[in-house]
Structure 1
Amino acid sequence: MRYRQLATGTLALGVLLLIDVLRVWLPGIITIFGQAASTPAELMGAFALVWFLLALGAPAVVRRVGARPVTVVAAVALAVARLTLTAAPGGRTQLWLATAGLLAGLVWLVGVAADTDRPVPGLALGFAVNAALHAVLDTVDLVWRGDWVGWLLSSVAVVVFLVGTAQPGRRTGSGDAVPAGPGGTRAWLLAGPALLLAGMVALSPALARTGMSYLVAGDGVARSPLFGLAPVPVAVAGFLCAALTRPPRRWGRAYGPVVVLAGAVLFALDRGDLLVPAVLLTAVGLGACLALSDDASRPAGDGTNASRPAGDGTNASHPGGDTANAGAGAARRGYAVAAGMLVFALGAVGYYSAYDLGYPNAAVPVVVAVLVAAVAFTARPVVHRLPGPFPPLRAAAAVTALALLAPVLADEVPVASNRDGPPERLTVVAYNIRMGFGLDGRFDLRGLAEVVDRQRPDVVLLSEVDRAWLLNGGHDTLDLLADRLGMPYVFGPAADPVWGDAVLSRWPVRDPRTLPLAAVGAPTGAQALAVTLDLGDGVRTAVVSTHLQPPPGRGPVVQARAVADFATRYAAGRPLVVAGDLNTEPGDEAFAAFTNAGLLDALAAARPLATSPADDPRQQIDHVFVSPGLTPSDPVAPRSTASDHLPVAVTLTLPPR
């Protein structure tokens, strides 16, 4: 029992540390190694894949050197990289530390696979603990928390992981200290695809909260939800119960594959109101598929040959055959986990690079779910399990209890109020926040909040808002920033339901509408989000947030005209503000589309007012346009490197009442 718990716990902790490293490494591809929309997606994809391809050589190293030395060395390297990343060094140092940690984690997985033929409990608990902890931390990773809590929890996890790894003896994931059998290949093969589906859909707290925000009004526009993390404990409990209990027999085994496919299809439909059922279905289905893959080539806790099913290719009278069979099984498991993690990389790169290359990506999660379902459904049924509750179920209850804390502890954004009556002025800030990552590649919520809050804004318009992309670490950047600013939000989806533009306001927001914009060859989807600020006593102002996407080699003229027409029709004679990253400069045809519609350049008094790149601004591409009834003053682009753009701010005097 001690070895079973030790092996399961150590594997779960290692998975937790590896996911932490991935949450730093994946955003580093586009924020440090390259620049999205400027560095070729093919080059960034090649950089991502090469490390997973290198890991395919790890099984040969394990076979030559031995599993234990490789596992111990790789575990130490993973632990050191993970703990060092807690210091959040930023820049190239951060990227290469994360890369070293990733490669070490992949090699560690291969080494563990050689000695573990029942990995499902450890993998499932690792995925679930990561999701529960991420939810309790409000989707901010421990890596980005430089306080004592971050250091303490990171240090404890690393120390316990290393102590567990250092314990002598070969262990299976299910029994005593005995040589691992030949099974477990299917379960290890699913480690990578399961990690991808868990991070993208099933166990993503940010996606669950984003889905809840679409259910507030049910009109396709997301709003600040109450108890937005409520689906997380349900998903965690469903996933663990399905993964750690005996699967049904005969055709009942199909429920897991069918449910995981249904969840992946709902996610692929790109509808915000379907995100919550997608999360819950994928979580339960994924757990059930892992349980099906838990191939028991021998009864748990029994190291004898007599208990193996007949016809498995071993000979009880020839111990040497057992050794050879175990060695072949170790090699198969090593190659299986390396190949599975390559599937993770291919799926992640294939899905997210579509936003730069312009091809449909909805099939990627469905194809991965088909792979998971096929591997699970065709697995050999489990021959025998220990009587009574599966021991990790007790840990599952503890993990679910941890996840239950998330909706209780989560900060809820206060409701906007106009109790002071209509103001005379409004301060507007428009900011492209680049998913929350600064120029140094660090997730810099504090820097974003500080530069915005210094302007004392009444309304904030945000571009490049990411609410759950695994590629960017799986954060709900919008909700996190709204919490820090104390401003409720309205979100308009652009590329998909979790990427787009937002409006944060200290005043109540009415009648939100969103207009999808024609792509006209641009790499990423675009939209225009219109809202009405209720300033009290019948005074209302229209605000439109957008992020224009220029086609290759041209300006965003078509989109600019569409936004100008949509905004003026929506305002219907009321004061109007249109702002965002418009990717056009004064004098360009797209810029003229707004002035020709009768709007004024609210930043004209400060021209030239360059906003990009943030460390050496040369381009004037972030703008605020207003209707003639609004009088702009004090336009500014405050310096900050919390994004690759500078924000623009301006104070607008309202027309006399």
Structure 2
Amino acid sequence: MRYRLFTTGSLALGVILLIDVLRVWLPGIITIFGQAASTPAELMGAFALVWFLLALAAPALVRRVGARPVAVTAAVLLGAARLALTATPGGRPQLWLATAGLLAGLVWLVGTAAGTDRPVPGLALGLAVNAAVHALLDTNDLVWRGDWVAWLLSAVAVTLFLLSTALPGTAALPDGPAGPGGVRAWLLAGPALLLAGMVALSPALARTGTSYLVAGDGVASTPLFGLAPVPVAVAGFLLTALTAPPRRLGRLLGPVALLAGAVLFALDRGDLLVPAVLLAAVGLGACLARTDDADRPATAADAEDAGRAEGADADRSATADNTGDAQGGVRAAGRRGYAVAAGMLVFALGSVGYYSAYDLGYPNGAVPVVVAVLVAAVALTTRTAARPAPGPLPPLRTTAGVTALALLAPLLADGLPVASNRDGPPERLTVVAYNVRMGFGLDGRFDLAGLTDVVRRQGPDVVLLSEVDRGWLLNGGHDTLDLLADRLGMPYVFGPAADPVWGDAVLSRWPVTDPRTLPLPAVGAPTGAQALAVTLDLGDGVRTAVVSTHLQPPPDRGPVVQARAVADFATGYAAGRPLVVAGDLNTEPGDEAFAQFTDAGLVDALAAARPLATSPADDPREQIDHVFVSPGLTPGDVVAPRGTASDHLPVAVTLTLAPR
């Protein structure tokens, strides 16, 4: 039992480190290897898949060299890559370090699978602890922080992982070679990782879902205890994963819950995200539990009976048994190795297939449902032992401990930022519009500090953000909006565009009322677009309308249709009140789309400072980020401060309100 516990702990720690590496590597596909829309999605997808295909050769390496040398060597490389990522300045070194860490992690999984026939406790513990810690860190990973606390915790995790991997016996069960089972459990490692990161155990998705429940009406606003669903999801997942699954009709409950959660997620409705998380977490854990201890004799006596050759004399039977056991062990190890490599390929295909749809334009809602169907099918067709052997982890105590860790996240979360109009209507409003590229700078690092600093220096009253990501696994699963709002001390309202966790936002120091969102016509553009309108309550009956948008033009065309829709929506919403329309409009002054706003009676608030190029941030050549205002607002102090915390520069302008 001691060795089995070490094996479980080593597997859990390795899963945690591998997820850390994936949270760096996945965004690097877009921000470093490719440059979003400027690099073909097919090329980025091919780059992503090739490393998972290479891992299919790892079982042959294990057969030639041995499971233990392969697993230990790969573990050292994974740990080294994880630590190095905390120090790397970004760019190509970061991408290749993350790629090396990913490949090492895949090979380590194959080597570990060769000697482990009961991976479910370790996999489940790793997924649950990672989710709890990610929530506790407010969805901002240690690898991006770079302070001494991040270094210390990362070093401790890597050290414990390497020690547990190097201990004798951790690559096999205490009674000898690993048994014949575990193939189905290892096959589900990749699909479980995908569904956990995308839905079931995503703290960012849970908080985003809570923000919709708080606000309603198709928009989302700052929740007080946004991470509250996370401990519930972690507890449900661990408890169902570590306890014996029900029999007869009860065995359908887990697969049905998982499928229901995946379908709710695929419906792309913000108010359904929280039930999607909870159902998927419970269902995923239950499906994993059905593959634990499968196809194994239930007791030592059963194993002895099963291994005895019938009808042979004792000596020849023992020899045959030993030879058969050795050959069977090698075959079982190979099957487990290929199973985990294939399962991780499912992870890659699911990730690439789901998120590349936002560049290529095909429907992607079926991806999580298909992966959930695969997991459910494997679980339902698995024959579990009649008397399941006890696992290495006590279910109740383990669940209580990890849930307590997750429970700290909502309890320690910052309070709500407070908007105030105590001083009455201001004479001026400073507006900042910024395309934040999901929080990633030109160097490919998640740069909250850089984004916050450049915005804070402008002293804004209202901030309009484009390309806001609130939980995409592809971008590391961060809630970029909530993280920025906390640092700026400004409440937010969020308008979904591509899906419920990607879109535009308004942050305001003044109270916000009457939020509305308008989906914009796609006109051939694959990524969704919207316009988010809010009203700033400046006190004493003074109100100003603000509209945040990000136009997405179709290939080789301007966003004329979308621009006209935004102009009509904004002027109608303002109904004669002062109006501000701003964002990444993907159009230049003088273009037909630009003229849609001026023809609607709006004024180019940045005109006095033009030319004012804002993209790309390191060599600005295009004027595509704009602020338009109604004639009653007088613009001044226009600036596009330099910085590389995004691929765009922000634009800032101070607006003088007309005297009452």
TM range (shorter): over 0.9
In structure 2, give the amino acid aligned to 1:544: V
- Does 1:351 find its partner at 2:354? yes
Match of 2:489 in 1: 486
- Does 1:5 find its partner at 2:5? yes
Structure 1 pair 291/636, CA: closer, same or farther in 2 (3 Å)? same
Match of 1:62 in 2: 62
| Pairwise CA distance, 1:491 | 0.1
Match of 2:120 in 1: 120
| Pairwise CA distance, 1:397 | 1.9
Structure 1 pair 429/66, CA: closer, same or farther in 2 (3 Å)? same
Aligned with residue 617 of structure 1, among 617, 620, 623: 620
Aligned with residue 196 of structure 1, among 185, 194, 211: 194
Q: CA RMSD in A?
A: 1.7
Deviation string, structure 1 residues 152-185 (Cα, Å, up to 9, x no partner): 110000000000111112544xx52521011100
- Does 1:159 find its partner at 2:162? no
- Does 1:531 find its partner at 2:520? no
Contact 2:545 2:573 in 1 (8 A): yes
| Pairwise CA distance, 1:618 | 0.2
Match of 1:264 in 2: 262
- Does 1:375 find its partner at 2:378? yes
1:311, 1:507 → 2: CA distance?
81
Contact 2:564 2:596 in 1 (8 A): yes
Q: Which runs of 4+ in 1 moved over 6 A?
A: 309-312
Match of 1:364 in 2: 367
Deviation string, structure 1 residues 156-215 (Cα, Å, up to 9, x no partner): 00000000111112544xx52521011100000000000000000000000000000000
SS in 2 for 1:649: strand
- Does 1:340 find its partner at 2:339? no
1:88, 1:475 → 2: CA distance?
20
| Pairwise CA distance, 1:540 | 0.1
Structure 1 pair 428/489, CA: closer, same or farther in 2 (3 Å)? same
Deviation string, structure 1 residues 54-100 (Cα, Å, up to 9, x no partner): 00000000001100110011000000000110114200000000000
Aligned with residue 465 of structure 1, among 453, 460, 468: 468
1:177, 1:206 → 2: CA distance?
42
Contact 2:4 2:392 in 1 (8 A): no
SS in 2 for 1:14: helix
Deviation string, structure 1 residues 231-267 (Cα, Å, up to 9, x no partner): 0000000000000000001221111111100000000
Match of 2:583 in 1: 580
Contact 1:201 1:282 in 2 (8 A): yes
Contact 1:298 1:307 in 2 (8 A): no
2:107, 2:131 → 1: CA distance?
23
2:213, 2:303 → 1: CA distance?
56
2:79, 2:291 → 1: CA distance?
29
| Pairwise CA distance, 1:495 | 0.2
Structure 1 pair 389/30, CA: closer, same or farther in 2 (3 Å)? closer
In structure 2, give the amino acid aligned to 1:190: L
| Pairwise CA distance, 1:396 | 2.5
| Pairwise CA distance, 1:301 | 7.8
2:278, 2:365 → 1: CA distance?
19
2:180, 2:561 → 1: CA distance?
61
- Does 1:419 find its partner at 2:422? yes
1:564, 1:632 → 2: CA distance?
19
Contact 2:5 2:392 in 1 (8 A): no
| Pairwise CA distance, 1:295 | 3.5
1:391, 1:301 → 2: CA distance?
19
SS in 2 for 1:7: helix
In structure 2, give the amino acid aligned to 1:618: R
1:67, 1:583 → 2: CA distance?
54
1:195, 1:307 → 2: CA distance?
37
In structure 1, give the amino acid aligned to 2:499: D
In structure 2, give the amino acid aligned to 1:229: L
2:619, 2:352 → 1: CA distance?
30
| Pairwise CA distance, 1:309 | 9.4
Match of 1:562 in 2: 565
1:386, 1:52 → 2: CA distance?
33
Count of aligned pairs: 654
SS in 2 for 1:510: strand
TM-score (norm 1): 0.97
2:300, 2:191 → 1: CA distance?
30
Contact 2:86 2:143 in 1 (8 A): yes
2:391, 2:97 → 1: CA distance?
44
1:388, 1:602 → 2: CA distance?
66
1:371, 1:260 → 2: CA distance?
11
2:264, 2:585 → 1: CA distance?
32
SS in 2 for 1:306: helix
Q: Which runs of 5+ in 1 are unaligned?
A: none
Contact 2:635 2:653 in 1 (8 A): yes
| Pairwise CA distance, 1:383 | 3.1
In structure 2, give the amino acid aligned to 1:27: P
Aligned with residue 294 of structure 2, among 293, 296, 306: 296
In structure 1, give the amino acid aligned to 2:279: L
Match of 2:655 in 1: 652
Contact 2:53 2:345 in 1 (8 A): yes
Contact 2:164 2:170 in 1 (8 A): no
SS in 2 for 1:475: coil
2:643, 2:299 → 1: CA distance?
59
| Pairwise CA distance, 1:391 | 2.7
SS in 2 for 1:519: coil
Identity %: 83
SS in 1 for 2:356: helix
In structure 2, give the amino acid aligned to 1:629: G
Match of 1:84 in 2: 84
| Pairwise CA distance, 1:318 | 1.9
2:475, 2:461 → 1: CA distance?
28
In structure 1, give the amino acid aligned to 2:287: C
Q: Bigger CA drift: 372-381 or 293-302?
A: 293-302
| Pairwise CA distance, 1:467 | 0.1
Aligned with residue 210 of structure 1, among 208, 224, 240: 208
Structure 1 pair 121/624, CA: closer, same or farther in 2 (3 Å)? same
Q: Any residues of structure 2 matched to 1:379-528 within 5 Å, and which?
A: 379-386=382-389, 390-391=393-394, 393-528=396-531
2:444, 2:488 → 1: CA distance?
22
1:116, 1:365 → 2: CA distance?
28
Match of 2:131 in 1: 131
Contact 1:581 1:622 in 2 (8 A): yes
2:642, 2:300 → 1: CA distance?
66
1:635, 1:96 → 2: CA distance?
40
2:636, 2:301 → 1: CA distance?
79
Match of 2:95 in 1: 95
Match of 2:27 in 1: 27
Match of 1:38 in 2: 38
2:77, 2:463 → 1: CA distance?
43
Match of 2:246 in 1: 248
- Does 1:232 find its partner at 2:235? no
2:324, 2:645 → 1: CA distance?
61
| Pairwise CA distance, 1:382 | 2.7
| Pairwise CA distance, 1:362 | 0.3
Contact 2:298 2:386 in 1 (8 A): no
Structure 1 pair 453/309, CA: closer, same or farther in 2 (3 Å)? farther
SS in 1 for 2:214: coil
